[in-house]
Amino acid sequence: MSFSPPSELSISAATKEDCSTLLMLIEGLAEFEKLSHEVKATPQKLEDTLFGDNPKAFAIVARWQGDPVGMALYFYSYSTFLAKPGIYLEDLFVLPKARGRGIGESLLRHLASLCIKEDLGRLEWSVLDWNKDAIRFYERMGALPQDQWTMMRVTGNSLLELGDLPSSGASS
């Protein structure tokens, strides 16, 4: 099966100048997931974490006829069993008006190609269980659900409490 991205589509690594665009896409994703109230990102925070001295994540932007219509935000993970890094796709989003044009598939293929070029062990992500369209889309791309795993998260006050470990008594 051969895939050719549409000629009207370009995908490139995000730059500092894309931070406002990324925020717009993040806000669109949050609205779709009914989580707008959780967005704390700002263009400056994105610039600091994506383009600072020690980037913590990376992004690619999809443009249709020059207009930004989608993004994938990812970071490097590590598999102890494979003894190889991989890519964890934090967010993939295509504006509703631009869906059905192969943009999401092109973003995923771009990341898969990056995995191959960098000899990474895997590309993985999470999907909301209620998003049946996304699940079907990902399965068509060859993704397999990992039903034996439960994602865990510590955030907010729980993170503050967990991180406030008592002193071990050892002097430094």
Q: What's the CATH code of the domain at 58?
A: 3.40.630.30
Q: Of these residues, 74, 78, 88, 138, which one is catalytic?
A: 138
**Residue 112 domain boundaries:** 9-163
Residue 1 confidence (pLDDT): 52
Look at residue 35 and tell me if it is in a domain. Answer: yes
pLDDT digits (tens, 9 = 90+) for 128-151: 999 999 999 999 999 999 988 888
Look at residue 25 and tell me if it is in a domain. Answer: yes
* Residue listed under structure tokens 């003894």: 83
Look at residue 84 and tell me if it is in a domain. Answer: yes
Look at residue 1 and tell me if it is in a domain. Answer: no
Residue 2 confidence (pLDDT): 61
Look at residue 3 and tell me if it is in a domain. Answer: no
Please confirm, yes or no, whether 138 is among the known catalytic residues. Answer: yes
- Three-state secondary-structure class, residue 75: strand
Look at residue 139 and tell me if it is in a domain. Answer: yes
Helices and strands: H and E segment counts in the chain: 5, 5
Residue 107 confidence (pLDDT): 97
Residue ranges in the chain modelled with pLDDT below 50: 169-172
Query: How many domains does the chain contain in total?
Result: 1
Please return the burial class of 135, using the count of CB atoms within 10 Å of its CB with bins 0-12, 13-18 and 19+.
middle
Q: Is beta strand 123-125 parallel, antiparallel or unpaired with respect to 84-94?
A: parallel
